[in-house]
Structure 1
Amino acid sequence: MNRLNCFIILLAVSIWIIGGNGDATSDTEIIKKLLGKGYDWRVRPPGINLTIPGTHGAVIVTVNMLIRSISKIDDVNMEYSVQLTFREEWVDGRLAYGLPGDDTPDFLILTAGQKIWMPDSFFQNEKQAHKHDIDKPNVLIRIHRDGRILYSVRISMVLSCPMHLQYYPMDVQTCLIDLASYAYTESDIEYRWKKQEPVQLKKGLHSSLPSFQLNNVDTTLCTSKTNTGTYSCLRTILELRRQFSYYLLQLYIPSTMLVIVSWVSFWLDRGAVPARVTLGVTTLLTMTTQASGINAKLPPVSYTKAIDVWIGACLTFIFGALLEFAWVTYISSRRKKICSSRNSLLAETRQALIIPNTVVAQFPAEEGAETTETRVDMSITESPDVWIRRHGNGKIVTEVNGHLGNKNDESAELIIIDSKHKNRRYIWWTNFKNLRLIRWVRRRLDVEDNAKRADLISSEFLN
């Protein structure tokens, strides 16, 4: 630093002597002399590293910024808006004007139209930007007596922020602010962060975002290499966490309620077709509309998001409740069709087989039974019923399971039930029903109507 100070002082004295007006102490006179004859604002000032001959190395530009606000974080366009005060500081020995202890002012402020050399800084991920001009241009150019220059400007920008939405709406996004020189390579300009507080945040900025929370701000380097050279670059990393409370109230709780409402149809009678259809279709359409509203706020990405899994699960439950009602209606209508068909076989446990134009074998009641009525043993639950018509002594008789009927009819139909097939099926079915878990479930769901049993199973599953 001693060599640097000596260089700056010697350069300032030389310029002051060349100017010829050592008695000029007013700001106007000093600025006029500095920017007068001999100063070219288009030429880069020399560096401060005296060990490098010629231009003495690159100009060191120290950067810091104050982030005033972050708003309009757009998930569809993957961008966000930021307003900040951007500050740069460098040394231009050609603008040094004083010596330690003299009566010259500590610094001078340039006005609009007074040009000096400035770094050609630009933001690499910037889409739109503008400087603030109300009511005066919000620009500060301050020249210190040792040639140090401070440039401060207030700007608003729309910056690109590529987002990864796999965990939406429980995601954490990382947005960047990249600063680099557009024309000067790192051999001409070297950017450095200010050692103390390189990035300052306005008070309350962490919790002032509409749908995000600013978790952390970090700084790093991002030197970029292109076909035209290597350029010095500074990067600001903003870590934004999406606030989940909004989506909990606007999405998760309403969708959960829609699923629960769709399950109400399990407790409605299957005959209430308009009520159950309206309930199922309405909840399905409402959930579809809600899903469309959520997807409208997101870009059409190719991967699956966490919100897609949730919405898909809700739609599956609601659609399943609607399908359950369709199944109940089908079972009920099929049962009625079987009962109403003339040539169909109605088989129920301990009930008679009604077979038109067919001899119904009647058998006496079992010994010890309380009733004296004849028993019609036509069940097909455990023992198969085999009807065989044969001739005996010139008569046509009907045999049912080895028992001869009391009367016969030549016009009766011949029905033979495959005993082997029935035996295999009912042996398996009997073994299955004897399982302990199945017996417990049958006791809980002891309903004769199969259609009603489907509703009962669905409601028991929810309980």
Structure 2
Amino acid sequence: MMRRRLLVIVFLICTLFELCSADAASDTEIIKKLLEHGYDWRVRPPGINLTIPGTHGAVIVNVNMLIRSISKIDDVNMEYSVQLTFREEWVDGRLAYGTPNDENPSFLILTAGQKIWMPDSFFQNEKMAHRHLIDKPNVLIRIHKDGKILYSVRISMVLSCPMHLNDYPMDVQVCLIDLASYAYTESDIEYRWKPENPVQLKNGLNSSLPSFELTNVTTDLCTSQTNTGVYSCLRTKLELRRQFSYYLLQLYIPSTMLVIVSWVSFWLDRGAVPARVTLGVTTLLTMTTQASGINAKLPPVSYTKAIDVWIGACLTFIFGALLEFAWVTYISSRSFYRHKTVDSARGSLLIGAKQAMIIPNTTLRKFSDPAQNIEMGLPLEEDNEVWIRQTLPTSNGIPNHLNDEAAELIVFGPRKIRKTLKITQFIRNLRLYRWFQRRFEVQDNAKRADLVSRALFPTLFLFFNLWYWTTYSRYKVPDAK
């Protein structure tokens, strides 16, 4: 009984072995029959449009791709690296080996060295590229029984990506992947995107981007015409938005702090020359170093970038604070020497006035009683000023103010007030003006300059920020050409 069971098992094993050998032989025979009996891989297969005589039109190549990763987006060289699985499908009627319901296998897989005709596709904006060969060449060639061929390969490429950096670092870049035939014109090969999911993205693709976010992927046609003919072309547009958080933490916040630190000098006494000079020069040099580090990561373009506007404004505010201290020092020195000269000159004038101008035993007072003016019959106008100069009698050499003597009237005509003076007087009478005058009315002009700068610099910087962020914070997608 045991012996009979062993014989049955051996029989089944031999039967399965023969079946497997028959299947393997049939695949090999089919491939050998297809490739060795009159098939020339150097000749383009005919198209499938039977209405066109001869070659029946161009070969339709359906394309789709899986983007695995995007990395190393280089702003200086304007390029980026991408790894993708590239797939092409076309029909070669010469390789058809069966009908849909026969016993032949659904498809055959070719190995390296078994050549068939393939489209001569190339990427127009490719700088460097290579296929992956570890552990085996990452290439798949599958032949279906109806003659449809699937070609799949995993490749890594460095592609050119012209960038528009006007809004850097709040910019959006559109990088392209252009696919075309190198030798066959549009009448021989026509590329078409696969109707469903022409471009697929691997899960977690955004995590592979160090400083960008992939916001949108679209497909388009880019058929081009050259001296040798019209070539079919497919285009993939990758919309990449730059991550702003890095620049906010590394540039905008530190530079804003430097500008605010430079304003501290307005609260320091003008006599603290070493402190104010050190503060201004240090912030200026720090901002210059930071600007140099940022520009080293960018190409030397001829237009102005958003980051250039910000750095230039920060440098202007810091340099302006330094110039303000120089102005304060100049005003202070000029006022000091001027007051010293005037005081010395004023002493000599007073001495001369006492000796030559002042008349002893006289008094001068203003006479402005309207009733007395009328009694005297003086034809005075409303704006006349009347002064009385009176000689005082003396008693034992001492002036006596009790006795009234004849007095001399001095009448000054009315002053002509211009319209500008009236407007100025009206403004000075305003309550708001008087408040500002009391707040900033400082006899020392140098101190007044510091007080004005404390309010002027922050206000101007605030208005600049409003304009800057309103202008550049809106992401604009450039046109890809």
**What TM-score bracket applies, with the shorter chain setting the length?**
0.7 to 0.9
The amino acid across from 1:445 in the alignment is F
Please give the per-residue CA displacement for 1:263-321, whole angstroms capped at 9, x wherever unaligned: 00000111111110010011111111111111111111111111111111111111110
Q: How do 1:215-234 and structure 2 match up within 5 A?
A: 215-234=215-234
Contact 1:432 1:438 in 2 (8 A): no
Consecutive unaligned residues of structure 2, counting only runs of 5 or more, are: 1-21, 366-416, 460-481
Gap change, CA 1:204 and 1:231, over 3 Å in 2 = same
Residue from 428, 449, 452 that aligns with 2:444: 449
Give the Cα separation in 2 of the matches to 1:172 and 1:118: 37
Larger proportion of helix: 2
Alignment of 1:353 onto 2:350: no
Q: For residue 29 of structure 2, give the secondary structure of its aligned residue in structure 1.
A: helix
Provide the residue aligned with 2:428 in structure 1.
434
Residue 62 of structure 1 and its aligned partner are, at CA, apart by: 0.4
Larger relative contact order (CA 8 Å, sep ≥ 6): 2
1:451 match: secondary structure: helix
Which residue, out of 453, 459, 467, partners 1:458? 453
Match of 1:61 in 2: 61
Contact 1:25 1:103 survives alignment (8 Å): no
Matched, 1:313 2:313: yes
- Aligned to 2:152, the other structure's residue is in SS state strand
Whole-angstrom CA distance in 1 between matches of 2:82 and 2:274 = 55
SS at 1:72's partner residue?
A: strand
TM-score norm. by structure 2 comes to 0.74
Residue 264 of structure 1 corresponds to 264
Structure 1: where are the runs of 5+ without partners? 1-21, 368-422
Partner of 1:145 in structure 2? 145
TM-fit CA distance, 1:359: 1.8
Partner Cα separation in structure 1 for residue 257 and residue 110 of structure 2: 65
Task: Report the number of matched residues.
Answer: 380
Q: CA deviation at 1:104?
A: 1.8
Instruction: Report which stretch shifted further, 329-338 or 130-139.
Output: 329-338
Query: Taking structure 1 as the reference length, what is the TM-score of the superposition?
Result: 0.77
Q: CA separation in 2, counterparts of 1:306 and 1:58?
A: 49
Where 1:77 maps in the other structure, the secondary structure is: coil
- Relative to structure 1, the CA distance from residue 151 to residue 448 in structure 2 (aligned partners, 3 Å threshold; closer, same or farther) is same
- Cα deviation, 1:222-245, whole Å, max 9, x if unaligned, reads 111000000111111111111111
SS in 2 for 1:173: strand
Q: Cα gap change, 1:242/1:360 in structure 2, threshold over 3 Å: closer, same or farther? A: same
In 2, the alpha carbon distance for the partners of 1:361 and 1:202 equals 101
C-alpha distance in 2 between matches for 1:232 and 1:198: 17
2:434 alignment partner AA: R
Distance in 2, matches of 1:110 and 1:249, equals 54
Does 293-302 or 433-442 show the bigger shift? 433-442
8 Å CA contact 1:167–1:305 kept in 2: the answer is yes
Q: SS at the partner of 1:261?
A: helix
User: What is residue 163 of structure 1 aligned with on the other side?
Assistant: 163
Tell me the secondary structure at the aligned position of residue 354 of structure 1: helix
Q: 1: distance between equivalents of 2:334 and 2:423?
A: 22
CA deviations 1:340-397 (Å, max 9, x no partner) are 4xxx3249xxxx9233896253979999xxxxxxxxxxxxxxxxxxxxxxxxxxxxxx
SS of the equivalent of 1:239 reads: strand
1:365–1:302 Cα change, 3 Å: farther
Structure 2 CA distance for aligned equivalents of residues 110 and 365 of structure 1: 128
Equivalent residue of 2:114, what SS? coil
Aligned partner of 1:11 in structure 2 is none
Identical-pair percentage? 80
Pick which of 218-227 and 354-363 moved more.
Answer: 354-363
Cα distance in structure 1, aligned partners of 2:84 and 2:165: 27
- Superposed, 1:38-77 pairs within 5 Å as 38-77=38-77
Task: Summarize the alignment of residues 180-191 of structure 1 with structure 2, pairs less than 5 Å apart.
Answer: 180-191=180-191
CA RMSD in angstroms comes to 2.8
Q: Which residue of 1 aligns with 2:81?
A: 81
Deviation at 1:428, TM superposition (A): 9.7
